[in-house]
A and B are shown apart, each in its own frame.
Chain A
Amino acid sequence: MPQGKRRSLVKPTLDTPFHIDFSWWQTHTRDWRFYMHRLLCTEHQKQFENWEETTPVDWVDPETAEVHPVDGMQYILMTHCAQQPEFLNAHVPLVDAIFRVLIANGNRPMTPAELAEHLNRPAQARTILRTLAGKRDYLGIRPVEE
């Protein structure tokens, strides 16, 4: 999984890929596990009822075969809950919808245009760019920096 870095000074464009920087969650006050628990399907919300730490699982990147040890709950979210049809169809704010698209696709970096396509909002690529390129980091969604 891509590592978190400091935000680049280069202004993102419609062709800049974005991903979830999980290191952002560790350095900010937002409780990653609490947020993640809300995204689980009903069955797994029960399984992780106490949302305590779980044994890390070796997640294999579908494109590079790179292995990232991820939290067990995050792994279940990415490989099971996010693959359920209702996960992407939920009526949620734009930033949450973007987060869900990235999670459902194994956090594969996507440009605003690709995200708009996945969200069935092809006309909103610029809105997505304006939102993600702002000064504030929403849910750790940041440009991928080489």
Chain B
Amino acid sequence: MIRETYWEDLNITPEDIEALYNHLLETETPLTPEALAAALVAFRLEAEQQKLERQRSGGAAVYLPKGHYEVGQTLVFPALAWAEGEVVAVRAAHNPTLPPFQVIRVKFADGREREFAAGLEEHPLNEPPRLSADDPLHNPEKVLATYGEALAQKIEAALAENEEFVRIAGKWFPRALLMEVHVGFLNLAEAVLDMHGGGPLPTAEIIRQIDFPAENPHLAAFSLDYALQESEQFDEVGPAGQVLWFLRRMEPEGVQETPPHLRYRPLDYDREALTADMLALETALGDELSPESSVAEIPGKVELALIYPHWRAGTLPLSAKTRALFPTAYQAPRVRFTWVDAQSGAEFPGWVVRPGQYVYGLEAWYRKKELLPGSLVTLKPGRAPGQVLIEAHTHRPRRDWVRSVLVGRDAQPVFAMLKQIVSAEFDERMVIAVPDPEALDAVWEETARRRTPLENLVVSMLRELAKLTPQGHVHAAGLYAAVNAVRRCPPGPIFALLATRPWFIHVGDLYFRLDESAI
């Protein structure tokens, strides 16, 4: 019997590690933690089964109808609640309809004597007793459905601390089975990737081109993968379940390092102060720096309003709102995929940069579509795996009055309504045209150098934006967009200030005005 919390409390023991090691040796195939969790559950259930049999039999032989027994032998009877008895007589059975068998007379502890078949090949009891598969704690499928993820994490943690195992693209393998990869092969692999624009190339293709010995293709691929992974020259950029290699030095700069406009130093703020409406707006904005409560399932489509930092870096947020649309990976920090322009069908390379929580590769596309910070962009799942459709709601260019940010002589931002050429739909509350991004870069540098407190920025932005409307009211989303025109900041800290400072007056529907007299 397995106790209720057996799987929940399970700690990976040295015996488990040995069993997993042997399993990998036998299969000769690298396995994911999920597959190893399945092997572990099978191993643990078998061990518990054996323990159960040992406990119940107390060392005595388990009675099976097909067995042959002698007078004086002690037996335990699984079908009789594991009662123990001694064989006191053996006789030939009389049954013309069955093959010849024997009858043993067994004396039990209570003094009763009962007869049982022996030497009878055909009987259901000849199958040894098993742990009941009806019990969810004994059923491998049910155990894995409930505890599989937690077990996989425990296995992952245990194997990571053990030098006998190596991991590549989320799969584990015994180090002892790896082939040695000479440095010459790594140089050849680098040359091959260089010839292919840096990559991405699958391992099999690299093996073919460098003539790597591959008597056992699985083993050769895994060994080369491991050698490439251990070398800093190469980057594994395949989505989960796929190994693709890229030459690190040929990856775009915005992939190797987080672009300056996306860098954020986390600020302390009181999340409890955020109202329900503010939390809803925060979710809708889909900022990658906002805390994630849960990641949505793959949505039909996601619409985002661009903010200046992403517009400038040619990126989009990898947030709870968008994450499910993009390929992920077990280990690879950077994953290569393909953007597809939903209108023209044109394809161009994209990158998921998991540590920086952004997706890259849109700088030229934003330029081509003449998008502004605040423009609306729609994302949809691609038709093939590894593709993501992107669409800007473009229309014929027209001149329109748009909130714009200019840079004054004092290197301070100035907001004004100016006529701009507009080629795509935008969010009225968040749009900010930036006629001279290089000039605005100077404001970013100055803000960072002076370490201007966020609160000062929020006040000055609200003051600037209020001048552009007759009522002097500014929406929280507009304020978030304006602050992000001069420094990177998620909505949370900005909204917390709006909610807690007396000089920010809420006039309804997340519109605020500044009470200068209270400052």
Residues of A within 8 A of B (CB): 55-60, 62-69, 75, 79
A–B complex contacts, Cβ < 8 Å, 9 sampled: A57-B94, A58-B94, A60-B98, A60-B120, A62-B124, A63-B124, A64-B77, A65-B65, A68-B115
* Bound Cα distance A59, B94 (Å): 9
> In the complex, what residues of B have CB within 8 A of residue A67's CB?
93, 103, 115-117
> In the complex, what residues of A have CB within 8 A of residue B518's CB?
none
**Inter-subunit contact B97/A79 (CB<8 Å):** yes
Q: Which residue of A lies closest to B106 (CB)?
A: A66
With A60-B98, A60-B123 in contact, do A65 and B79 touch (Cβ < 8 Å)? yes
> In the complex, what residues of A have CB within 8 A of residue B80's CB?
64
> In the complex, what residues of A have CB within 8 A of residue B116's CB?
64-67
16 more A-B residue pairs beyond the given contacts A58-B115, A60-B95, A62-B124, with a C-beta to C-beta distance below 8 A: A55-B94, A58-B94, A58-B117, A59-B95, A60-B98, A62-B123, A63-B79, A64-B80, A64-B125, A65-B120, A65-B125, A66-B115, A66-B117, A67-B93, A69-B94, A75-B97
Encoded as 1 (CB less than 8 Å from any A CB) or 0, chain B from 98 to 125 comes to: 1000010000000000111100100111
Top 4 closest pairs, chain A to chain B, by CB: A67-B115, A65-B65, A58-B93, A64-B79
Let me know if B345 is at the binding interface, CB within 8 A.
no
Let me know if B14 is at the binding interface, CB within 8 A.
no
Most buried by B among A57, A65, A79: A65
Let me know if B96 is at the binding interface, CB within 8 A.
yes
**Inter-subunit contact B125/A57 (CB<8 Å):** no
Q: Which residue of B lies closest to A68 (CB)?
A: B115
* Bound Cα distance A57, B65 (Å): 17
**What's the minimum C-beta distance from A129 to chain B, rounded to whole angstroms?**
26
* Bound Cα distance A79, B96 (Å): 12
> In the complex, what residues of A have CB within 8 A of residue B65's CB?
60, 65
* Bound Cα distance A58, B95 (Å): 6
Most buried by A among B63, B95, B120: B95
> In the complex, what residues of B have CB within 8 A of residue A60's CB?
65, 95, 98, 117, 120, 123
Q: Which residue of B lies closest to A55 (CB)?
A: B94
**Inter-subunit contact B120/A56 (CB<8 Å):** no
> In the complex, what residues of B have CB within 8 A of residue A58's CB?
93-95, 103, 115, 117
**What's the minimum C-beta distance from A143 to chain B, rounded to whole angstroms?**
19
* Bound Cα distance A64, B114 (Å): 11
Q: Which residue of B lies closest to A70 (CB)?
A: B95
**What's the minimum C-beta distance from B367 to chain A, rounded to whole angstroms?**
73
Most buried by A among B80, B103, B117: B117
Name A56's contact: one of B63, B79, B94, B98 (CB within 8 Å): B94
> In the complex, what residues of B have CB within 8 A of residue A57's CB?
94-97
Q: Which residue of B lies closest to A59 (CB)?
A: B95
* Bound Cα distance A57, B115 (Å): 13
Name A65's contact: one of B94, B96, B98, B117 (CB within 8 Å): B117
> In the complex, what residues of A have CB within 8 A of residue B125's CB?
63-65
Q: Which residue of A lies closest to B122 (CB)?
A: A60
